[in-house]
Amino acid sequence: MYLLLDQGNSRCKYVLTPSLGILEDSVSGYWSNDDFEPSTWKRELEAFKDKQIQRVCVSSVASQERKLWFEALCQTTLNMTPEFAESAEVYVSQTLRKMTNSYDSPKALGVDRWLAMIAGFERSSEGFVVMDAGTALTTDWVCSDGKHRGGHIVAGHRLLQQSLLGETGGIAWSAEHDSELKGDLFGENTSAAVSLGAETMLKGYCYQVVKALSGQGASNELRIYVTGGDRELISGYLQQAIRELKLKHEVIIQPNLVLEGLSHWFSMNN
């Protein structure tokens, strides 16, 4: 069995699969990062002790210090050294098509973004967009010739709210006095004003992304793959924008897109 891990900013998602490449007969789940509290991670890893793990393959946006800490934990808990995926200049697909990284320093591209693009590339023979709606909302566009045209990184729904509630004393104080969210389009108390404001910003962002893609000559029938914890929220905003702009883009929700790309990456880099 192969243990695939996607260590994000808030959660660690996993897939347990008998083979690499296309994820078949796999079991998936996640646990909270819990600020990398050792007992939490040790307990979660110990649950895989009897699964006959052959390799531990990891996508991690954590610091090098955290990666070394996790490596030592895997060695003591599972008696295995984890292998970390890295962004690269080129990815060669199962059908020998090439996808190229737009970054001058390819490894500087977040590995989770690179792996999500790999999954989209393996799924689609045409151009596509990947949006990962986690702590940060990332967007990446890959053309039909496999060229990565670049992307965006913006604050996600929770982070937008936390940046106000955690960094502005007056707003936080006011929100503490709210027992519930009150209001529809505009908030009638501070908590609702912050929440609805964040939603409005993300709706506008999704609309502008869809509009910009059309203005840059992207196909009117582009596939947009959406993953991450807020995938349902973001996919709804995208679909609304597509209807308003009278386009034919297809929004496809894929909860394990990064893990799927991780599986392909290790399959092609044995």
pLDDT tens-digit series, residues 83-121? 999 999 999 998 899 999 999 999 999 999 999 999 999
Is 7 in the same domain as 139? no
What's the whole-number average pLDDT of the chain? 88
Q: Over 50: is that where the pLDDT of 173 sits?
A: no
Domain boundary among 31, 64, 84: 84
CA distance 239 to 89: 32
Q: Is residue 47 part of a domain?
A: yes
Q: Is residue 15 part of a domain?
A: yes
Alpha-carbon 49 to chain mean position:
27
Is 26 in the same domain as 142? no
Is 252 in the same domain as 229? yes
Identify the burial level of 116 via C-beta atoms within 10 angstroms of its C-beta, where 0-12 means exposed, 13-18 middle and 19 or more buried: buried
Q: Is residue 98 part of a domain?
A: yes
pLDDT > 90: percent of the chain: 65
Residue 103 marked in a binding site: yes
CA distance 81 to 176: 46
CA distance 218 to 179: 46
pTM here is: 0.89
pLDDT (tens digit per residue) in 11-30: 899 999 998 888 877 889 99
Residue 223 marked in a binding site: no
Alpha-carbon 146 to chain mean position:
20
Q: Do you know the residue count of the chain?
A: 270
Is 221 in the same domain as 132? yes
Q: Which two tokens stand for residue 247?
A: 């386009």
Q: Over 60: is that where the pLDDT of 174 sits?
A: no
Q: Is residue 175 part of a domain?
A: no
Q: Is residue 42 part of a domain?
A: yes
Residue type, 39: S
Is 95 in the same domain as 150? yes
Place of tokens 């060229």: 147
Is 26 in the same domain as 101? no
CA distance 87 to 104: 12
Q: Is residue 140 part of a domain?
A: yes
CA distance 91 to 94: 10
Strands 90-92 and 98-100: antiparallel
Integer Rg of the chain from CA: 20
pLDDT (tens digit per residue) in 61-90: 888 999 999 999 999 999 999 999 999 999
Is 150 in the same domain as 256? yes
Is 69 in the same domain as 7? yes
Per the structure, how many domains does the chain have?
A: 2
Q: Considering the candidates 112, 178, 184, 230, report the single residue annotated as catalytic.
A: 112
Residue 184 marked in a binding site: no
- Are 200 and 187 a contacting pair, CB within 8 Å? no
Is 144 in the same domain as 213? yes
Q: Is residue 169 part of a domain?
A: no
Q: Which two tokens stand for residue 186?
A: 């505009």
Residue 143 marked in a binding site: no
Is 123 in the same domain as 9? no
Q: Which helix (H) or strand (E) holds 87?
A: none
- Domain limits at 127? 90-157+189-261
Q: Is residue 217 part of a domain?
A: yes
56 pLDDT band, cuts 50/70/90, is very high
Residue 231 marked in a binding site: no
Domain boundary among 68, 84, 100: 84
Identify the burial level of 241 via C-beta atoms within 10 angstroms of its C-beta, where 0-12 means exposed, 13-18 middle and 19 or more buried: buried
Is 64 in the same domain as 105? no
Domain boundary among 61, 84, 107: 84
231 φ, ψ (degrees, to nearest 5): -60, -35
112 is catalytic: yes
Strand partners, 244: none
pLDDT (tens digit per residue) in 200-247: 999 999 999 999 988 765 666 789 999 999 999 999 999 999 999 999
CA distance 80 to 55: 7
The CATH number for 108's domain is 3.30.420.40
Residue 190 marked in a binding site: yes
CA distance 63 to 3: 21
Is 127 in the same domain as 30? no
Residue 206 marked in a binding site: no
Average pLDDT over residues 240-260: 94
Q: Over 60: is that where the pLDDT of 167 sits?
A: no
